[in-house]
Amino acid sequence: MNAVQCGKRTPKLPGRRPPKSGLDGWKIPAQNPPFFAMPADLGRPPKTNPAAQFLKATEDLIFHHVHGRQLIYNACWEDPRIDRQLLALQPDSRVVMITSAGCNALDYLLDGPAEIHAVDVNFRQNALLELKLAMIRRGDFPDLFEFFGLGSHTEFKQVYRAVRQDLPKFARTFWDSKISFFNPGGIKKSFYYHGTAGTAAWLLGTALFKAKPNIKNFAMCLLDADSVAQQAEVYALLERKVWDNLSNWLIRQRMVMTLLGVPAPQIKLIEDHYPGGLGAYVKDKLRRVMAELPASENYFWRVYITGSYTMACCPNYLRKQNLAPLAERVARIRTHTCSVTQFLQQNPGVYSHFVLLDHQDWLAWHDPAALREEWELIFANSRPGTKVLLRSAGLTLDFVPEDIRARLRFFPERTEPLHLTDRVGTYGSLYFAEVR
């Protein structure tokens, strides 16, 4: 088996102190897809009075309760097409990355690196990647695509039994109780409407589509548009129908934002700093993705609108021609249930690439000392030229200490134009650097 347990598992609330780690996935999930642009002073938590501190603690407790017991993401929310252009993986590359849903680890594997270490404090995220690896090793493309392309399988129990023994124990334990996520007869019909983000998509879609049935028809017209110009035309019609009192009310609900992975302090930042607040931010981001970038290749948004991919619009691991090379290389991926800091402490070595998603936003707010500790370990396990890729909800990297930034060489001339092509479209900024 290729799974490794390192460090302590995510603790359960109440009564347990969360671990101090370089991937603050307990206090705030490490792989949030942010829906806002943070101000540059993110790294300085505001002073609050006792009543405000109590309210924040209560809201965080609810957030932790939801995320500490759930699969968070069932699909990656970062565009690997951009990543692979920047990373330029080689046969001797040794990659450390945050697992998320595992889609992008498989995308990187197509470039043939020597090894990929997928690290996540949430064992459920690693269990998802392990199931994908087992299905790829099995080599049955129709079953693989039905599971993870369509999001369900009419014989999901039988297929699971065929790969169950190929899973590490922690993944078997998880899927033994959750394999019904793939049941086409279930109320949600699709795996992609499970997990916290999937549940939020299902709740929002169900509410909107039932209230206004033609909204889904317009959405399908947009996804199937012949051109970006036609998309813009369709979205202009769709936008007027979507944003009514119901949808504006839904996006203001704290529980909906919790399911999407946006905690209360960040919601307040949106309201305080973005013109028009949360509603205006979401509307602006959706308009860019839906009206300015080709929907025909945007599998990120398609899967949450429809609950499935198509063979023409899906992650690369679900393309038939990629199954054989992936099957040959799956042993190069190892999952680790721990933080980035714990992984590097327990697996010292020289790594060529680090893919950090956006979790350092959260470290800067909640534990600046852990942020510095993680960077020191990255440098200690790097060589000159080691590549680092990270995203941020903010528009600057000011939350990373200046002396740490000085040890990196950044390439804004490459990242800024690529960021404009990001099919996800919700991050504030993208950074690619090499260790000096």
The label of the residue with tokens 């009192």 reads: 245
Q: Is pLDDT of 133 > 50?
A: yes
pLDDT at 205: 84
Q: How does pLDDT run across 219-228, given as a tens digit for each residue? A: 999 999 999 9
Q: Is pLDDT of 99 > 80?
A: yes
pLDDT at 51: 53
Tell me how far apart the terminal alpha carbons of the chain are, to the nearest angstrom.
36
Q: Is pLDDT of 266 > 60?
A: no
pLDDT at 309: 98
DSSP assignment of 49-96 equals -HHHHHHHHHHHHHHHHHHTTS---SS--S-HHHHHHHH---TT-EEE
Between CA 42 and CA 132 the distance in angstroms is: 36
DSSP assignment of 397-415 equals -TTS-HHHHTTEEE-HHHH
Here the tokens at position 286 are: 């959706």
pLDDT at 319: 98
Q: Is pLDDT of 292 > 50?
A: yes
Helix 277-292 vs helix 264-273: crossing angle, to nearest 10: 80
Give the mean pLDDT of 284-310: 93
pLDDT at 262: 62
Q: Is pLDDT of 20 > 50?
A: no
Report residue 142's pLDDT band, with 50, 70 and 90 as the boundaries. very high
Give the mean pLDDT of 379-401: 91
Global pTM reads 0.84
Lowest mean pLDDT among 34-43, 94-103, 129-138, 170-179: 34-43
**Which are the contacts of 297, defined by CB distance < 8 A and separation ≥ 6?**
313, 423
pLDDT at 365: 77
Q: Tell me whether residue 428 is exposed, middle or buried, using C-beta atoms within 10 angstroms of its C-beta: 0 to 12, 13 to 18, 19 or more.
A: middle
Three-state DSSP state, 433: strand
Which neighbouring-strand residues pair with 431? 390
Measure CA 349 to chain center.
Answer: 26
Q: How far is CA 418 from CA 33, 83, 398, in A?
A: 18, 9, 21
Report residue 272's pLDDT band, with 50, 70 and 90 as the boundaries. low
Measure CA 408 to chain center.
Answer: 25
Between CA 125 and CA 298 the distance in angstroms is: 23
Report residue 162's pLDDT band, with 50, 70 and 90 as the boundaries. very high
Q: How does pLDDT run across 49-70, given as a tens digit for each residue? A: 565 455 445 455 555 555 567 8
DSSP assignment of 267-292 equals HHHHHHHSTTHHHHHHHHHHHHHHHH
Here the tokens at position 349 are: 């070595």
Higher pLDDT: 420 or 15? It is 420
Between CA 80 and CA 326 the distance in angstroms is: 16
Residues 428, 394: contact at Cβ < 8 Å?
yes
Mean pLDDT (the chain, rounded) = 84
Q: How far is CA 417 from CA 209, 414, 431, in A?
A: 35, 6, 12
pLDDT at 14: 35
